């Protein structure tokens, strides 16, 4: 499953990826005007209008004895897409672990286990509130789909240039960081030296005893 998704995202099969990408964008854009049930129904009706016509055509050829009774979609019907017991258990375990991890993280952030992480979470929620005012969740989903299908292809075509840009940005950030550390070290006051220890009473009375003995 993961391999198929990677093949789609990296456009290794241009025709298949183009169909999936175009279908996703058109379906999501249609949700602005229609409900999800209406869009899903129209997609199924459109697909079935093509498959039904092809099935009737092959059936007509079979009646005319021009076709030996081959089903046009037999390869899709023979494809086993069911899950075995082991695969089902693994999938359910992964989903449960993901839900439990998300619940634990949200609980940790809401009840302030770490001040820094909770502050980051608050800032993120505050920014998301502004994003929610400016745009809708459906627009964000469409944007995410376009980015997922565009960035890997862009990186594949401009790999050397992007790597040079990343190295230049890292070098610039490192230079700024070193400059800030240098300014901080130069402006930081020098640590105060500890005062010299006062001579003890025994060391002070030692010369007097030597003088009396003489």
Provide the b/e sequence for 25-40 (b: ≥16 CB within 10 Å): eebbebbeeeeeeebe
Instruction: Give residue 49's pLDDT.
Output: 92
Instruction: Give residue 99's pLDDT.
Output: 94
Q: Is the pLDDT of residue 72 over 90?
A: no
Least confidently predicted of 5-9, 94-98, 203-207: 203-207
Q: Is the pLDDT of residue 202 over 50?
A: no
Instruction: Give residue 30's pLDDT.
Output: 85
Contact 17, 11 (CB under 8 A): yes
**Model-wide pTM > 0.75:** no
Read off the pLDDT of residues 35-48 as tens digits, 9 standing for 90 and up.
Answer: 888 888 988 998 99
């Amino acid at each position: 499953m993961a391999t198929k998704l990677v093949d789609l995202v990296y456009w290794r099969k241009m025709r298949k990826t183009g169909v999936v990408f175009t279908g996703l964008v058109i379906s999501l854009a249609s949700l602005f005007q229609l409900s999800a049930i209406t869009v899903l129904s129209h997609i199924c009706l459109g697909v079935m209008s093509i498959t039904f016509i092809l099935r009737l055509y092959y059936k007509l050829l079979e009646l005319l004895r021009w076709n030996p009774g081959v089903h046009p979609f037999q390869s899709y019907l023979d494809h086993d897409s069911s899950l075995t017991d082991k695969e089902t258990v693994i999938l359910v375990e992964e989903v449960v672990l993901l839900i439990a991890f998300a619940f634990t993280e949200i609980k940790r952030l809401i009840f302030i286990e770490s001040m820094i992480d909770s502050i980051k979470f608050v800032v993120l929620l505050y920014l998301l509130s502004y994003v929610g005012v400016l745009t809708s969740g459906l627009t964000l989903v469409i944007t995410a789909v376009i980015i997922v299908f565009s960035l890997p292809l862009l990186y594949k075509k401009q790999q050397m240039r992007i790597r040079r840009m990343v190295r230049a940005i890292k070098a610039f950030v490192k230079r700024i960081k070193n400059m800030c550390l240098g300014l901080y070290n130069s402006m930081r006051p020098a640590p105060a030296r500890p005062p010299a220890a006062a001579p003890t009473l025994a060391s002070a009375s030692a010369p007097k005893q030597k003088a009396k003995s003489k």
